[in-house]
Copies of this chain bind each other. A is one copy, B any other.
Amino acid sequence: MKQRIQSIILPLLILFLAMGCTNADQSNLSKKWKKVYPGVWKNDSRKSPTYDLLSSSGSSPKTEILKTFKNSAFPLSKNEIEISQKNGKTYLSFPLERKEQIYGLGLNFKTVKRRGQIFRLHVDHYNGVDNGRNHAPVPFFVSSKGYGVLINAARYIDVYVGTGVRKNAKNPAVVKDRNMDPTWEPMPYSDNIEIIVPESGVDVILFAGDNMMEVVQKFNLYCGGGFIPPKWGLGFWHRTPTMYNQKKVTEEINNFKKKKFPLDVIGLEPGWHSKAYPCTFEWDSTRFPTPKQFTQKLLKKDHIRLNLWCNPYLWPGSDLDKKMEPYTGSHTVWNGTIPDYTIPEAQKVFQNHIKKHQLDLGISGFKIDEVDGLDRWLWPDYATFPSGLDGEQMRQTYGTLLMKTTNDAYRSKNERTYGLIRAANAGSVSYPYVIYNDYYNHKDFITALINSSFSGVLWTPEVRASKTSEEWVRRMQSVCFAPIAMLNAWANGTKPWSYPEVYEACQEVAFLRMQLLPYIYSTFAQYYLKGTPPFRAMELVDHQIKGGIKVSKKLDDTENPYAETASKDLKDQYMMGDYILVAPMFEGQKKREVLLPKGRWFDFYTGKLVGEGGKITVQCGLDKIPLFIKDGAIIPMIPKIRQTSEWTLETPITVRVYGNKSGSFELYNDDGSSLNYEKGDYSLIKLKRDGTSTSTEIINNGKWQPKHISWEFVTK
């Protein structure tokens, strides 16, 4: 009977629905932009909220800060934006102009400019190709015109950045005969950026500002804003070999002291677990018989913090797994169960366990491995989870869920943590984690650092091993100008002094990082207070910088059968904070080119003028990393200290001044380890320079003001 009713009425109902849906879905979908903040508009075409990137992170916009921006005009012609739905997918199209360039769309390693590329944004371990599979495939792009778009969907998203050409294009390309016309191009002009989201309706946020930096700030703030790491997190990190025990780690710490190398954090690798791959999250009783004693001794006597490796897949039958069981997914990873951390009870189970076994002992944080890929390690897309989420949704957000869950545990103790993670996405910007991976191309590592600034994530080009001492010191130099300065000796057992002929240079740069702590810390404060990424692509500080030149490439029937030209991205130099242009040297290089933004630039070490916009050639010995300083730079530094515990209010600050330009810098300070700063418990001191005069001004309160500030004019 039921079937008869269905077979008669169903078609009628479907007809009626289809009529309704057609009208309701299509009408003015692309016109519904609702202004939510100055220069921020939202267009949500979903019938009701779904699991998305922002909801997965639990973040909320930094409303008060966003309101301080001035208004912007809607950056595009609304008529040229298309948003439509068909067969359970949403199609979006945004117009592009001829000279417009696009950035962002995740943690790519080989390219910075996006136009002409196609991505399928899919969390995965990077595999050598910028195709959308990477650790943070954030669906946010920024335009050189001064706007950005966030597609807030926890799905695999296809993005065609100026590749598709419509038959009826508004800006059609000129047809050319490849036989006879040498100007024939393999990629005709495309006037749109188009996106496919495999969901019915999607939440889109559009940002506009005076320049790309403002757009990125608004994006970061909308997604929760940046964070301030604990001070100890900005010291040097050393990860010990996997099977090290308490004794070996103690020796290691003593060696760092004897050899006079900075050290704030020791990273323990899988061997601290009683079982790993999958993990118990319990100390191995042979290798770490007295974990609490050990951790406390490191904290109190050696001023060393411990960061523990883990992957989130639970050893079946372990204590944690037994409690977690009702909240785990349909599949296993390395035979370990997969907790569904969208479920509050699952979060609590995990937090209770790690508090009991790790946090309460004094453990300072985690390195959360293997939340990215590969497809063959992790759960398949058809896996299911008790919350109802599927494998794809979980894949796109698992890193974010782990960051949130672990960070909340520290938060509940009013403690900051700082750790490592292998996957992130939109919404995770406020979580104190830095991305790393198993890849190792030094140049590509720097490109990733550059790209991180467009996507609201942080990246570290960790050092692990090297073929030569030249390579070793160059990598050490780079990593000391990154969010986490780290040597990861999990497999190789390397030490900073493994290459004696360059040890002194390694020490130099590690101590230089320590000297720059006040500057770096204040830079991170900008991340929290204004959404400004601490490490920046050149285009974010000078969007007119001419980074790319087209390089003609010969026709080759295998390598280049379409005679494509190669566009040279500016992908080997970046800004650390407002003033320091970092131009790392790579193994084999005797000299390198540096592209200076507009204005005058000075050598960090000598204070001398090196150029004023445009290209310079730099020669730099192994003992230094090329650093160039913006005119008017004000860089607060401390003496060479080995550990951040030595950095107190008493520590004298020398403020280095470069060039001639007047300006100011906001020196930030706080207690360095609690979350009290979120309630306003911090100091902002404005360091001002006007010609040859200098002054300081307390912006909010002087509680954390350094006691001794002196100035040094480096440029004579």
Chain B residues whose C-beta falls within 8 Å of the C-beta of A184 in the assembled complex: 277
Q: Which one of B116, B196, B273, B558 contacts A382 once the chains associate, using CB atoms below 8 Å?
A: B196
A277 B167 Cβ-Cβ under 8 A: no
Q: Which of A85-136 contact B (CB under 8 A)?
A: 86-88, 91, 116-118
Q: Which one of B91, B178, B332, B465 contacts A188 once the chains associate, using CB atoms below 8 Å?
A: B332
Which one of A157-165, A525-533, A604-612, A688-696 contacts B?
A157-165
Q: Which one of B10, B165, B333, B465 contacts A557 once the chains associate, using CB atoms below 8 Å?
A: B465
A167 B337 Cβ-Cβ under 8 A: yes
Also in contact, A167 and B270, with CB within 8 A (given A179-B275, A464-B557): no
Which one of A16-24, A671-679, A700-708 contacts B?
A16-24
Q: How distant is the Cα of A10 from the Cα of B16 in the complex, in angstroms?
A: 9
B331 A164 Cβ-Cβ under 8 A: yes
Chain B residues whose C-beta falls within 8 Å of the C-beta of A377 in the assembled complex: 186-187, 562
B271 A179 Cβ-Cβ under 8 A: yes
- CB nearest neighbor in B for A278: B175
Q: How distant is the Cα of A160 from the Cα of B383 in the complex, in angstroms?
A: 12
A376 B163 Cβ-Cβ under 8 A: yes
Check: A194 CB closer than 8 A to any chain B CB: yes
A88 B91 Cβ-Cβ under 8 A: no
Check: A345 CB closer than 8 A to any chain B CB: no
Q: Which of A326-352 contact B (CB under 8 A)?
A: 328-337
B179 A118 Cβ-Cβ under 8 A: no
Rounded to whole Å, the gap between the CB of A385 and the closest CB of chain B is: 11
A179 B382 Cβ-Cβ under 8 A: no
Q: Which of A1-59 contact B (CB under 8 A)?
A: 2-3, 6, 9-10, 13-14, 16-17, 20, 23-24
A273 B179 Cβ-Cβ under 8 A: yes
Chain B residues whose C-beta falls within 8 Å of the C-beta of A277 in the assembled complex: 176-179, 184
B557 A492 Cβ-Cβ under 8 A: yes
Chain B residues whose C-beta falls within 8 Å of the C-beta of A87 in the assembled complex: 88, 390
Chain B residues whose C-beta falls within 8 Å of the C-beta of A438 in the assembled complex: 557-558, 561
Q: How distant is the Cα of A169 from the Cα of B464 in the complex, in angstroms?
A: 38
Also in contact, A491 and B561, with CB within 8 A (given A88-B87, A194-B380, A196-B382): yes
A91 B10 Cβ-Cβ under 8 A: no
Q: How distant is the Cα of A336 from the Cα of B187 in the complex, in angstroms?
A: 12
Q: How distant is the Cα of A430 from the Cα of B188 in the complex, in angstroms?
A: 36
Check: A410 CB closer than 8 A to any chain B CB: no
Chain B residues whose C-beta falls within 8 Å of the C-beta of A13 in the assembled complex: 13, 16-17
Q: Which one of B117, B276, B382 contacts A194 once the chains associate, using CB atoms below 8 Å?
A: B382
Check: A315 CB closer than 8 A to any chain B CB: yes
Check: A251 CB closer than 8 A to any chain B CB: no
Check: A360 CB closer than 8 A to any chain B CB: no
Rounded to whole Å, the gap between the CB of A218 and the closest CB of chain B is: 28
Q: Among A24, A382, A488, which residue has the most Cβ atoms of chain B within 10 A?
A: A382
Q: Which of A144-166 contact B (CB under 8 A)?
A: 158, 160, 163-166
Check: A210 CB closer than 8 A to any chain B CB: no
Check: A381 CB closer than 8 A to any chain B CB: yes
B166 A270 Cβ-Cβ under 8 A: no
Rounded to whole Å, the gap between the CB of A338 and the closest CB of chain B is: 8
B176 A335 Cβ-Cβ under 8 A: yes
Rounded to whole Å, the gap between the CB of A641 and the closest CB of chain B is: 30
Rounded to whole Å, the gap between the CB of A440 and the closest CB of chain B is: 4
Q: Which of A376-407 contact B (CB under 8 A)?
A: 376-377, 379-383, 390
Q: Which of A164-195 contact B (CB under 8 A)?
A: 164-169, 172-180, 184, 186-188, 194
Interface flags, A342-375, vs B, CB<8A=1, else 0: 0000000000000000000000000000000001
Q: Among A178, A276, A337, which residue has the most Cβ atoms of chain B within 10 A?
A: A178
Chain B residues whose C-beta falls within 8 Å of the C-beta of A167 in the assembled complex: 328-332, 337
Check: A698 CB closer than 8 A to any chain B CB: no
Q: Which one of B24, B116, B166 contacts A331 once the chains associate, using CB atoms below 8 Å?
A: B166
Q: Among A87, A116, A179, A465, which residue has the most Cβ atoms of chain B within 10 A?
A: A179
Chain B residues whose C-beta falls within 8 Å of the C-beta of A390 in the assembled complex: 86-87
Interface flags, A516-555, vs B, CB<8A=1, else 0: 0000000000000000000000000000000000000001
- CB nearest neighbor in B for A199: B87
Interface flags, A256-282, vs B, CB<8A=1, else 0: 000000000000001101011110000
Q: How distant is the Cα of A24 from the Cα of B2 in the complex, in angstroms?
A: 10
Q: Among A174, A242, A491, which residue has the most Cβ atoms of chain B within 10 A?
A: A491
B188 A335 Cβ-Cβ under 8 A: yes
Check: A713 CB closer than 8 A to any chain B CB: no
Rounded to whole Å, the gap between the CB of A473 and the closest CB of chain B is: 19
Q: Among A87, A242, A555, which residue has the most Cβ atoms of chain B within 10 A?
A: A87
Q: How distant is the Cα of A284 from the Cα of B177 in the complex, in angstroms?
A: 12
Q: Among A172, A176, A328, A381, which residue has the most Cβ atoms of chain B within 10 A?
A: A381
B178 A276 Cβ-Cβ under 8 A: yes
Q: Which one of B179, B188, B375, B492 contacts A276 once the chains associate, using CB atoms below 8 Å?
A: B179
- Ordered by A's residue number, 28 sampled pairs between the chains whose C-beta atoms are within 8 Å are A3-B24, A87-B390, A91-B382, A158-B381, A163-B376, A163-B380, A165-B332, A165-B335, A167-B329, A167-B330, A167-B331, A172-B335, A176-B335, A177-B276, A179-B276, A179-B277, A184-B277, A188-B332, A194-B382, A377-B562, A438-B557, A440-B557, A440-B558, A464-B557, A490-B557, A491-B556, A491-B557, A491-B561
Q: A residues engaging B (CB < 8 A)?
A: 2-3, 6, 9-10, 13-14, 16-17, 20, 23-24, 86-88, 91, 116-118, 158, 160, 163-169, 172-180, 184, 186-188, 194, 196, 242-243, 270-271, 273, 275-278, 284, 315-316, 328-337, 375-377, 379-383, 390, 438-440, 464-465, 488, 490-492, 555-558, 561-562
In the A-B complex, the 8 residue pairs with the smallest Cβ-Cβ separation, listed nearest first, are A178-B277, A491-B557, A164-B380, A177-B275, A440-B558, A175-B335, A6-B20, A118-B375
Known: A164-B380, A175-B336, A179-B273. 19 other contacts (CB 8 A): A6-B24, A10-B17, A87-B88, A87-B390, A118-B375, A118-B380, A163-B376, A164-B382, A167-B337, A173-B335, A175-B335, A179-B243, A179-B284, A180-B275, A186-B334, A186-B377, A438-B558, A464-B557, A465-B557
